[in-house]
Structure 1
Amino acid sequence: MGLTALTIMTASNMMGSGVFMLPSSLAQIGSISIWGWALTFCGVLVLALTFAKTNQISPCQGGVIAHIGLTFGPYIGLQTTLYYWLATWIGNCALLISGVGYLAFFFPILHHPLYAAGTCIAILWLFVALGLQGARVVGYAQIFTGSCMLAVVLGIGVLGWFHFDAHLYMRSYNVTQQNSHHAILSAAAISLWGFLGIESASVSSAQAINPKRNIPLATILGLTLAALSYVSSSNVIMGILPHSQLIDSTSPFADTARTLWGTTAGECVSALAIIACLGAMPGWQILQTEVPRAAAEAGLFPRLFAATNRHGVAYKGLVCTACLMTGVILLTISPNLEQQFRTIIVLAISASLIPYAFAALSLPVTMVAKKLNRGRQFTLYSCLSLLGLAFVTTALLGAGTQPLFWGIILQMVTIPLYLLYVMRQQTPPQSVTPPCLMSDRCAGHRSFIAVSVDPDAVSKE
């Protein structure tokens, strides 16, 4: 994939994971969430700059997530890789739920939890079949679906301002019954979901053309595009739809279009949203296979995650995660689709924040290791890394106790997994006859023979 495909994939992975349902989720807090957006954007921009610099000075397969293990050692590498892997495929479940929520605009039967879950699972396996065709096919698909996404988001985010009602917007400014500080932190934690995927270009470095140049550019361009679309669209919707309608909406963009321009417009927007939302799936599938693939090649994950087909896709890992996603969709079935969406994004955010913190800290460590710890540039990026860590900490605290609880559980799970890794590393290799003892052609291994074999036996020979 080149710069265009990488940029669209980065923006699409972020927007596809959040933009179509976040207006309803943020309506639970109120229009004060605009300050949460601002806080989140500043924090994610800091992370994007550190990720881009890390990839520039120390590129590796698996991007900044795989780089954590190289910087902090195998245990932290195993821990953060497991967290990130969980975040990607759990997040994909939320992506499917969003798409089915818009599909229910055409097929009201999908409001029934069981039918919605069955449709999610069927679509999931269709995209597994597409993902097995390789990165080139995925890149073309992302350009098309990303264009549909921009048409929907920018269409509402630009044209909707002509119908914006400031009084309606301010009427639901803070509906949490809590102080503004707590509401802003809560909004920042939820809106962070919309920026998960900022590392998409970096993680996909093995599938990129000229990664040293294109990945940092795609990261910054994709973030800018997504942020402008988010802030414009989510705020204008809060000034068009009544609060009571918005908090229960499973398709806020389609409902907004229907309110402004009629039923036909709502149907068109819903159709484009379905294509765009579900079209982000292949890009996320690359992330959920490339990171465990790099970990498997480093010995941290089982070898099955490293097996690739003729298109270079880690097909066993893709099928394995699809099975796990099927289980999560079935276990989180809820009569309220928006509630199911919120439950899943809390799980995904819990799993993604720890890798982001370590990825931010790995940059100054890498610069010191490469003797780049001199001058203003080192000072600047060290400050950015600390700011990124502070942002992740703030977001984790703002998300409440549930992400902290799941983060602790996930950390405990990594302890026995690391024990298995150590035991596998300590297993002695099978005794085999050195190949150089079987042939006189390997002159380069004569010193090995002298050390490995009894000298008396050698002299007798």
Structure 2
Amino acid sequence: MHVTGTVPPPAPAPQETPAAPVPTENPTASSTESPAGDTGRHARRFGLPVATALVMGNIIGGGIFLLPASVAPYGTVSLIAFGVLTVGAIALALVFGRLAERDPRTGGPYVYAREAFGDFAGFLAAWAYWITTWVSNAALAVAAVGYLDVLIPVNGHRWTACLAALALQWLPALANFAGTRYVGAVQLVSTVLKFVPLLLVAVGGLFFFDPRNLGPFHAGGGSTLGAVSASAAMLLFSYLGVESAAVSAGEVRNARRNVGRATVIGTAGAALVYLLGTLSVFGTVAHDRLVTSTAPFTDAVNAMFGGAWGGWAVALAALVSMTGCLNGWTLLSAQTPYAAARDGLFPAAFARRRRGVPTVGVGVTVVLASLLTVYNYASGSGKVFQTLVLVTTFTATVPYLLATAAQLFHLVSGRGERVDRARLVRDGVIAAVATAFSLWLVAGAGYAAVYQGVLFLFAGVVVYAVLAARRQRTA
């Protein structure tokens, strides 16, 4: 999910209630069985296709439509950065698959961190991930308004744009309230619809490819390694969302097998679209024009087929892409607090679930995101809002690091592992690559984002202290 490069300036500048106390789950138990009340025609477990669509749909938001122009100043050396990042993202996907095979419960990184390191580590994973989701949802909605404005003019007045952003958040939330059956249907349809135009450019552009448009291999100054690192910093956050199937593992059929497969297939599919799409745009739009382009996919479509309908087509594709992304992230924003609430590490209300969806978590998330959106438009300045979005790029890495650390912990301690030296070595190498990728994400967030993100984490420490004290008093 890449949103920081797509957030336009604000206008006018461009669940059944659990009994209290909530019982703590057995960390080794599988929660692949639905809680009472989650059955029925509106609650349905995700199969492999929907789980894969959830991963791909959450990774690919609206940022892909600006990525080629973002990395064009570095030259085609940025394609090497894509390749390096893809290796790291797939390594992280494989780690999530192995962890889900060991423990296929809803919650993903929260479950893995808590099982390996205890309640506090689990809470930090859940807290950081929750902040990431609802702030990012607000960012996605504001960015989507920029694409909606191409189809229906809404940016002429600040509050018209604000209402449009709120509608784009609440429509996916309503699909979530309707049940997992509708969440899965919306996610599958939106993923298919977004991939049709993306593949049109990614694959069709190869037939219009002109090597003279590529420009220099290394367009900037300095070393090639420095250019790879600089362009990678622009691309790092494009792979956020690889954990999507693991977070919703409790809603995936045959989770021990399908979560890992969906995570790897979805991540690899998103990487293929990213790479081919960027390469096709590089080869169809002249480099000097691409560097200053504000709509590279539009320019590519117009160059390939002529006419001026590229802007409308790309705007529609981006809007569908981001709506589907909002649908998936709204579900994920409620799943981790739900898992933590069942263990007594989040307020008990978050454990309420109806039709397979943690409704209280969805409601709280969409309300917080809506308030942040309104504040963004009311303040008339996107600086605070954009700073918060940058902070989420750091908070997202906290559960990643804890999950990869949990995998390393299991491998080194030998817990739950069969005596298979070759597999242990292979999993150890993959976990090490995934850990390096997660640390690279932290470094790419920047000093300011890390500093402010740590403040968000420390605020969570206070919340944990209050919840832990209440739980101990009740016990």
Do the aligned residues in 1 keep the contact of 2:387 with 2:449 (CA within 8 Å)? no
Per-residue CA shift, 1:84-136, capped at 9, x if unaligned? 11122222233323422222222355276654343212211122112111111
| 2:284 partner amino acid | I
C-alpha distance in structure 2 between counterparts of 1:98 and 1:180, whole Å: 33
Matched residue SS, 1:321 = helix
Q: Does 1:356 align with 2:395?
A: no
Do the aligned residues in 2 keep the contact of 1:185 with 1:398 (CA within 8 Å)? no
Distance 1:355 1:230, change over 3 A: same
| Greater shift in the superposed pair: 87-96 or 282-291 | 87-96
Report the RMSD for the aligned CA atoms in angstroms. Answer: 2.8
Per-residue CA shift, 1:47-97, capped at 9, x if unaligned? 111110111122222123322111111111111111111122222233323
Shift in Å, 1:173? 4.5
Per-residue CA shift, 1:400-453, capped at 9, x if unaligned? 212321332223222212211321132155xxxxxxxxxxxxxxxxxxxxxxxx
C-alpha distance in structure 2 between counterparts of 1:105 and 1:390, whole Å: 40
C-alpha distance in structure 1 between counterparts of 2:275 and 2:156, whole Å: 28
Q: Does 1:410 align with 2:456?
A: yes
Query: Which residue number corresponds to residue 71 of structure 1?
Result: 116
Identity of matched residues, %? 28
Distance 1:356 1:294, change over 3 A: same
| 1:312 partner amino acid | G
Equivalences for residues 169-318 of structure 1 within 5 A: 169-171=214-216, 173-175=218-220, 179-241=223-285, 246=290, 251-261=295-305, 262-309=307-354, 311-318=355-362
| 1:210 partner amino acid | N
Matched residue SS, 2:111 = helix
Do the aligned residues in 1 keep the contact of 2:154 with 2:164 (CA within 8 Å)? no
Q: Which runs of 5+ in 2 are unaligned?
A: 1-45
Do the aligned residues in 2 keep the contact of 1:105 with 1:251 (CA within 8 Å)? no
| Greater shift in the superposed pair: 342-351 or 245-254 | 245-254
Shift in Å, 1:43? 0.6
| 2:421 partner amino acid | G
Shift in Å, 1:145? 0.9
Query: Which residue number corresponds to residue 422 of structure 1?
Result: 468
Match of 2:447 among 364, 389, 401: 401
Do the aligned residues in 1 keep the contact of 2:338 with 2:358 (CA within 8 Å)? yes
Do the aligned residues in 2 keep the contact of 1:90 with 1:325 (CA within 8 Å)? yes
C-alpha distance in structure 2 between counterparts of 1:330 and 1:168, whole Å: 42
Q: Does 1:56 align with 2:97?
A: no
Match of 1:107 among 141, 152, 157: 152
Shift in Å, 1:22? 2.8
Do the aligned residues in 1 keep the contact of 2:202 with 2:276 (CA within 8 Å)? yes
| 2:337 partner amino acid | P
Q: Does 1:14 align with 2:59?
A: yes
Match of 1:159 among 180, 204, 207: 204
C-alpha distance in structure 1 between counterparts of 2:380 and 2:215, whole Å: 30
C-alpha distance in structure 2 between counterparts of 1:410 and 1:179, whole Å: 36
Distance 1:250 1:320, change over 3 A: farther
More helix by share: 1
Count the aligned residue pairs.
426
Distance 1:58 1:206, change over 3 A: closer
Shift in Å, 1:200? 0.9
Matched residue SS, 1:198 = coil
Per-residue CA shift, 1:272-303, capped at 9, x if unaligned? 33223212221111111111100111111111
Matched residue SS, 1:280 = helix
Matched residue SS, 1:110 = coil
Shift in Å, 1:150? 1.1
Matched residue SS, 1:170 = coil
| Greater shift in the superposed pair: 226-235 or 360-369 | 360-369
| 1:287 partner amino acid | L
Matched residue SS, 1:299 = coil
Shift in Å, 1:326? 1.9
Query: Which residue number corresponds to residue 389 of structure 1?
Result: 435
Shift in Å, 1:317? 1.2
Q: TM-score, normalised by structure 2?
A: 0.81
C-alpha distance in structure 1 between counterparts of 2:225 and 2:156, whole Å: 35
Distance 1:94 1:115, change over 3 A: same
C-alpha distance in structure 2 between counterparts of 1:323 and 1:278, whole Å: 17
Q: Rg larger in 1 or in 2?
A: 1
| Greater shift in the superposed pair: 384-393 or 76-85 | 384-393
Do the aligned residues in 1 keep the contact of 2:339 with 2:351 (CA within 8 Å)? yes
Equivalences for residues 316-355 of structure 1 within 5 A: 316-332=360-376, 345-355=389-399
C-alpha distance in structure 1 between counterparts of 2:206 and 2:142, whole Å: 28
